[in-house]
Structures are given as structure tokens and as C-alpha cells.
Amino acid sequence: MNFSPRTHISPSRTVAVNSLALEKRLAGERVYNLSAGEPMIGTPAVISRAAMDAIDAGKTHYESVSGIPALRDAVSTWMNTTYGSHFSRTQTLVTAGGKHGVSLLVDAMLIPGDEALIVAPYWVSYVSQVEMAGATPVVIPTAEKDGWKVTPADIDAHCTAQTKLLILNNGSNPAGVLYTTQELQAILDMAAQHDIVVISDEVYSGLVYDGVDYISCASFADHVSRVIVVQSMSKHFAMTGWRVGFVFADEQIIRVLCTLQGQTTSGASTISQWAALAGLQHADDIVPVHRAQMQARRDVFCQRFGEAFGHALPPAGSGLYQFIPLTAFGIVETDADAFCTRVLAEANVAMVPGEAFGVGGYVRCSFGETEEELKDAIEALHAYLVK
């Protein structure tokens, strides 16, 4: 059977590694899963109760394709209050997760021949989503010595007449990069110079550590017309499986996305949307607790890793991951893909190779697991590698 060229993409490496780890667990093996892209904490009870209440009340039917009005009101207010944006309900779309939001955007805004700038290390799905839209991903490399940050000069050097988008992951997966106000201003100024739209993926904005304030691209009034923000309930509200995300943009863009969504998913799960509304109504009680939990787990991971391998990891500024060079493990290998495959097969520790994020010689380790699981995983790694 012949399939569309759109299917000629690589499977998500993070999903593949996590699935293999889960399969080994189902087979009865003790697996230490440092590959999962989620905080391993339960969804808050107030959110789960709201879902059950919605079911009991019969709120299980189709809703507006753009999302329940009360949820769009609540999330736009939350964005504006928390991050200094100025979005309204009509500038807000509810999607089936942040990933679907990005997918809708590239489908709506790119045509064959267009180019989209993607900063490496990048979240694994960006490249494939651009390719599925028939466009060309243009990867901008960065370096650990520069904090994995893209600069205006980098953007300028990679722009062509075909460049239409810059996808910027602030609070990045896998490197935990956070941009300052000055850095974002300069990036947005350069985007304006080349007349390109910026998709700002901000799904880790609630998991920012060490007392640092998160700066949203939507807070820059002089660039509001070219900034599109993607958000999600998954990470900082611990709702990964509920599949609720958001796109904030100009009303014209939201209308186009709504048309696409109406012909694909018809919208996010109604029950999940009512649950998300409850989460937003209790955000001040939920997000700080989750942030503190994840920071504590990050600190445990970095401390135990340093003790085991004698290498001090710079703690991630945000997110759920440490992006670690293979040299930190005291080994001379450079092929992270082969390293991760071997370690999962022989030591039952699951990590994601840096090649999946566009950077070889590194691995991504999630600190989203419990503190005990993190300690056990590092002990298992040390026992296997330091023989």
C-alpha cells in the first residue's frame, strides 16, 4: 500500500523510548524511566472532581469548536494576569494539547517552499510538524557554552526570502533554557526586521525555578501582532493525559485555526475542558506546589548525579529535564543513540538521546519521577557504567 509523502517522517523518539520502557515494565522488569516528558504527580483532586461533576451533570456533548466560552475567558484572564498579555476570549483557541496547537499553526501558516526556523536543541516534534505541512525546517544550532540560546545574529544569518516562521521554545525542552526580557526583545526585533511570525511555545512557563520570573513573548506590546503563544494544562497542572492546550493569537488566525480544528478533532474533550476550568480557577493553589515539587526533584537529581559521577550539572532553569553531555558519565562514547539503546537494554534505565533533539553527544534525563525513583535510577546507572 502506498502512503502520502506526509507520512515519511521519523516516529517521535521520546514516545518510542517511553513506550519501550513501559513495555519492559509490563513484562515484569524493573525499569528506571528517565525518558517520560511529564511530572509524575497525580492530577489535583479539584480537577478530577470537576470532570466527574461534568459527567454527572451530563456535560458530555459537543461544545464550540473553539472551546467552552467559560474556559476561554478563564485562560485568557490567567495569561493576562500572570504574564502581562492582553488576550480576549476571541483571541483564544482550546486545542487537544499544546502539540496539536503547534500542528494546527504550521498547517495554517506554511505552504510548500516556505521555511520555518527551529532552534536546536529542539522539541522532537517541531521538525516533523513542519515537514508534514510540506515546508522546510531550517535548524539554527546553538551551543552549551552559550547557554543553548539563539541570538538575533543567528536568526539573521538563517533567514531567507522563504522564511515565514520562527518557533521559539522559551522554557525549553530539552535544555531548560529561559530567555531574559532583553534577549526576547532583541529576538522579536529581528523577527520584525525579516517580517516573520514567532510561535512562542510556553508550555513550561509554570515550571520556572529559583525564584526567576517567566517572561512571555506576549508581554511585548510592540510585537503583539506577530507573536502567537502556545500554552498547555499538561505540565504545570499535571494534566498530561487530559489533552488540553491553548493558542493565543490575532482573531483572524484563531478563526482559521478553528476551521482546521473543526475538520479534524472538532475540539478538545468537553469533559477535559471542564476539568481544565477548575484547574485555572485554583491555579494559585496548584502551580506553586507543583513548581516546588519539581524544583526539589531537580535538585535531588543534580546532587545525586554529581555524587555518583563527579560531574556538577548546571541545574535546569525550567521544565522537567537535564540535558547532559555523555562526557559527564565518565565515558568516551559520542553516539548518544547507541548509548541510550545499550543502557536501556542492559541496565533498564531509559533516557532519550540528544540526536532526537538535533544535538549529538547528549542525553535528556527527566527529573519528573519521584525522588526515590531518581535516586534509584542514578544508582543503577552508576552500577552499570562504573564497573
Write out pLDDT tens, residues 255-304: 999 999 999 999 999 999 999 999 999 999 999 999 999 999 999 999 99
Give the pLDDT score at 25: 84
Cell of 158: 538563517
Give the pLDDT score at 18: 77
Give the pLDDT score at 3: 86
Question: Are the beta carbons of 20 and 344 closer than 8 angstroms?
Answer: yes
Q: Which residues contact 54 (CB under 8 A, 6 or more apart)?
A: 60, 270, 271, 274, 275
Give the pLDDT score at 261: 98
- At position 223, the amino acid (one-letter code) is H
Give the pLDDT score at 173: 97
Among the listed residues 234, 203, 200, 236, the one whose alpha carbon sits nearest the alpha carbon of residue 218:
200
CATH architecture of the domain with residue range 45-283: 3-Layer(aba) Sandwich (3.40)
Q: Where in the chain is the domain with CATH 3.90.1150.10?
A: 5-43+285-385
Identify the band that residue 17 occupies on the pLDDT scale cut at 50, 70 and 90.
confident
For residues 329 and 325, what is the distance between their CA atoms, to the nearest angstrom?
8
Q: Where in the chain is the domain with CATH 3.40.640.10?
A: 45-283
Q: pLDDT tens digits, residue range 81-122? A: 999 999 999 999 999 999 999 999 999 999 999 999 999 999
Question: Are the beta carbons of 98 and 231 closer than 8 angstroms?
Answer: yes
Give the pLDDT score at 387: 67
CATH superfamily of 5-43+285-385: Aspartate Aminotransferase, domain 1 (3.90.1150.10)
pLDDT > 90? residue 381: yes
Tell me the sheet residues that pair with 366. Answer: 321
Question: Are the beta carbons of 239 and 202 closer than 8 angstroms?
Answer: no
Q: Which residues contact 182 (CB under 8 A, 6 or more apart)?
A: none
| DSSP conformation class of 212 | P
Structural Rg of the chain based on CA atoms: 21
Quote the Cα angle for 159-165-166, to 5°.
Answer: 80
Query: In 121-226, where do the E strands start and end?
Result: 136-141, 163-169, 197-201
Rama region for 319: left / alpha / beta (φ>0; ψ in -120 to 50; rest): left
pTM score = 0.95
